[in-house]
């Protein structure tokens, strides 16, 4: 029996091109290509000997008839396709010379950022849209402890410091006491337009009309998405099967770890960034990395395909006690 032939690896470089109105340029894949008809960020394959910047300049000259000024790296998405292993390397385009036109017969569209999710895209492009629109930090709240008002005050401080997505989690507090505290926390998050999800408790999330963050153990028991589309659903995952279950269920994003040794999971073997990227390529969900991370890890997270970082201690106000 012959060994299975390894998949070819492709490095694609794409650009985020924004006009004076803040709209982002998309290009539609032409007939005869893989995933024909889907919309994507303009760019193409890097050829041997080219730097990513050189590849993007050449591709945009050929494809759109413009000469771009290539800016900072944005996100690097590994994605597994049936016939190839692709890495989508996305860069900001800070300016260009020329007038963008579809020089290869492709349709173009200038799209307002909030309309991007309406466009049917290849799997690798979907995490790019999420990275453009959704928060790059995901706060998981620590155990409330006996000082509920102090916990709420710390949450408010975290919101003032820029947190825009929160998971409310309690391991020991339950029943009416937790329901009342969660209700107050949800109200504070809503006042400032912050996404808020309840850990594990679907009924409580329904009662508070907010999102739910599913535990990994809950995924196999669910046959359909537990909340309507207007309310966020997320899941904690640790392997490829759980990630695929989360995607099949219709989760909006996932949390994957543990990346490094962390106080909350002292006995779990860390994935490391390469392990994270290997799992990331199996799905098109936005995925936060978790486990011993802080905002200082955001750049590295994005270069391995992460939406951003999730954390308890590193995102909770330093003056507050974490238990």
Residue-by-residue DSSP string for 58-118: HHHHHHHS-EEEEEEEEEEEEEEETTEEEEEEEEEEEEEES----TTS--EEEE-GGGGGG
DSSP-assigned beta bridge partners for residue 108: 27
The CATH number of the domain where 30 resides is what? 3.90.79.10
Tell me: do 118 and 152 sit in the same domain. no
Tell me: do 158 and 302 sit in the same domain. yes
Q: Is 152 inside any structural domain? A: yes
The CATH number of the domain where 255 resides is what? 3.20.20.70
| Separation between Cα atoms, residue 275 and residue 253, nearest integer Å | 19
Model-level pTM?
Answer: 0.94
Tell me: do 41 and 183 sit in the same domain. no
pLDDT in tens, the chain (323 residues): 455 678 899 999 999 999 999 999 999 999 888 889 999 999 999 999 999 999 999 999 999 999 999 999 999 999 999 999 999 999 999 999 999 999 999 999 999 999 999 999 999 999 999 999 999 999 999 999 999 999 999 999 999 999 999 999 998 998 999 999 999 999 999 999 999 999 999 999 999 999 999 999 999 999 999 999 999 999 999 999 999 999 999 999 999 999 997 666 666 789 999 999 999 999 999 999 999 999 999 999 999 999 999 999 999 997 655 55
Q: Among candidates 16, 22, 125, which has minimal Cα distance to 71?
A: 16
Find the domain containing 201 and state its range: 137-311
Tell me: do 186 and 275 sit in the same domain. yes
């Amino acid at each position: 029996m012959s060994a299975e032939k390894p998949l070819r690896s492709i490095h694609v470089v794409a650009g985020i091109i924004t006009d004076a109105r803040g709209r982002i340029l998309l290009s539609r894949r032409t007939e005869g290509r893989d995933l024909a008809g889907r919309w994507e960020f303009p760019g193409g394959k890097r050829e041997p000997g080219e730097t990513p910047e050189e590849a993007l300049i050449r591709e945009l000259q050929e494809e759109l008839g413009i000469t771009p000024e290539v800016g900072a790296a944005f996100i690097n998405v590994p994605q597994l396709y049936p016939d190839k292993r692709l890495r989508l390397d996305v860069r900001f385009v800070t300016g260009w010379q020329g007038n963008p036109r579809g020089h290869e017969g492709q349709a173009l569209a200038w799209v307002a950022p909030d309309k991007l999710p309406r466009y049917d895209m290849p799997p690798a492009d979907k995490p790019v849209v999420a990275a453009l629109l959704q928060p790059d930090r995901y706060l998981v709240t620590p155990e409330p402890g006996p000082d509920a008002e102090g916990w709420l005050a710390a949450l408010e401080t975290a919101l003032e410091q820029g947190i825009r997505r929160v998971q409310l989690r309690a391991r020991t507090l339950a029943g009416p006491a937790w329901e009342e505290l969660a209700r107050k926390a949800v109200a504070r998050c809503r006042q400032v337009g912050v996404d808020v999800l309840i850990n594990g408790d679907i009924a409580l999330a329904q009662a508070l009309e907010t999102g739910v963050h599913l535990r990994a153990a809950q995924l196999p028991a669910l046959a359909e998405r537990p909340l309507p589309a207007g309310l966020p659903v997320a899941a904690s995952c640790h392997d490829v099967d759980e990630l695929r279950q989360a995607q099949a269920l219709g989760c909006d994003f996932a949390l994957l770890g543990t990346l490094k040794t962390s106080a909350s999971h002292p006995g779990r073997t860390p994935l490391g960034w390469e392990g994270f990227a290997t799992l990331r390529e199996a799905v098109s969900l936005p995925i936060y990395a978790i486990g011993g991370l802080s905002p200082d890890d955001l750049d590295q997270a994005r270069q391995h395909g992460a939406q951003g970082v999730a954390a308890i201690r590193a995102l909770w106000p330093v003056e507050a006690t974490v238990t």
